[in-house]
Chain A
């Protein structure tokens, strides 16, 4: 009887350890492989302002000080600046981008829009459109930066 009790306690203990192990395993593994879809992160003056899914259809204004603003639009899986207070409108001239790695930048308003494509969280990915269209695949390679 005593042995049975000990076995039960050990069993419960190991069961608990197993459940806790699985919990951590999922936590560690799960988050890194979870697909988020394409999204964009908007920064103003070095501060993170907004994360937005590229699947949305939306238009919004990011306001700065002294009447500065950038009107951002997300449509058809791409993001771009359609109106801005900056004198050169270089940010708008960059057009609509659907993939990284070069961010949309508005220097006068200190605004940066980084685009992250489907896949693992932190790093930019790219897909070479021509190659992939021909091959019929949507393979992406992770990169650590881009020189331009």
Chain B
């Protein structure tokens, strides 16, 4: 009798233990994880969403594709930007949507604050170089000078939701396009209250939202600007919500006679920026800003770039050609250098 009782109690304890374990594990793994890979906005899209009743990623991708085709793309004649670009020199204000107006104002704000280091009117010169395209080449000085005369964000006239472009000037939001995409994705995801967290990457521009199901912080790798096969410069440990973008001279570049020509043009010269920096990563509260600021900082160089980030309350990681890494105060404890050939300068 006593034995039986003991066995029963023992079995009961095991049973309850097992049930407890199962329920606790179930809670932990309950969160659905949705993933999607696609090509969007001329780059690869990788989305991960934690939680939510259903997979909204396919719809999100559709929305982003529409945003590109109907609003942002300078290559699409039927997009808002495409249409606007045919109106240069007509002398009248052209109405634009509230959405595009917002993007344009935020972009031109960075242009002003950076004294034109970011300039959305530089698209025609980028077209001459065609970095990463089929007609990639080193354009002649004359060609560049001819196109340079059509560049200058300050010549864009704005009133309310209308824009007037001078003759032959075009607008290309390519430098902030991926950032705008991550902003759009973030707003779209935030509408779903049951989503706990998300990572949305458009090429190298990333939005991290909420938190991971296990409560761990997000870890983002910054690529080694002189590494091969996806080697890592370091790791950023971040909590949502924030937006991260990098600009570097290693992506979309070619080398002629030992000289590197990369895709980040200095709008003042029409040639690739030579500021002594090889990579700038910016972390802030908006995708458009992080994307635009990383480009502007890359063109401005270390000192002016740091000042620009201060104006926006943004954080950043700058790497110069001597492989020195400069980290803003707010990022210092969140960045871990991994590549040994670099050193962090205090």
Q: Which residues from B are CB-within-8-Å of A95?
A: 229
Selected from B36, B220, B281, the residue in CB contact (under 8 A) with A46 is B36
Q: Which residues from A are CB-within-8-Å of B222?
A: 146-148
A145 and B18 form a contact (CB under 8 A): no
Q: From A95, which residue of chain B is reached at the shortest CB distance?
A: B229
Instruction: Count residues of chain A with CB under 8 A from any CB of chain B.
Output: 50
**Contact count band on B:** 35 or more
Minimum distance in angstroms from B134 CB to a CB of chain A = 4
Q: Which residues from B are CB-within-8-Å of A144?
A: 48, 199, 208, 212, 218-220
How many contacts A-B (CB < 8 Å)?
A: 150
**Segment 325-341 of B: residues with Cβ below 8 Å from A:** 338-341
A11 and B219 form a contact (CB under 8 A): no
Contacts A7-B7, A22-B18, A28-B25 known; list 10 others, CB within 8 Å.
A28-B22, A46-B37, A46-B61, A107-B42, A112-B39, A112-B44, A144-B220, A146-B230, A147-B206, A147-B281
B35 and A99 form a contact (CB under 8 A): no
**Segment 9-63 of B: residues with Cβ below 8 Å from A:** 11-12, 14-15, 18-19, 21-22, 25-26, 29, 33, 35-39, 42-46, 48, 61
Query: Which of A55-63, A65-73, A128-136 contacts the other chain?
Result: A128-136
B246 and A147 form a contact (CB under 8 A): yes
Q: Which residues from B are CB-within-8-Å of A10?
A: 8, 11
Q: From B61, which residue of chain A is reached at the shortest CB distance?
A: A46
Residues of B at under 8 Å CB distance from A?
1, 4, 7-8, 11-12, 14-15, 18-19, 21-22, 25-26, 29, 33, 35-39, 42-46, 48, 61, 132-134, 136, 199, 201, 203-206, 208, 212, 218-223, 229-232, 235-236, 244-246, 248, 251, 281, 338-341
B14 and A14 form a contact (CB under 8 A): yes
Q: Give the complex CA separation of A107 and B236 in angstroms.
A: 28
Q: Which residues from B are CB-within-8-Å of A112?
A: 37-39, 44
Q: Which residues from B are CB-within-8-Å of A1?
A: none
Q: Give the complex CA separation of A17 and B25 in angstroms.
A: 17
Q: A130-B339, A143-B235 are in contact. Are A7 and B8 (CB under 8 A)?
A: yes
Selected from B48, B221, B230, the residue in CB contact (under 8 A) with A147 is B221
Q: A102-B230, A143-B221 are in contact. Are A122 and B19 (CB under 8 A)?
A: no
Q: From A106, which residue of chain B is reached at the shortest CB distance?
A: B39
Q: Which residues from B are CB-within-8-Å of A29?
A: 25
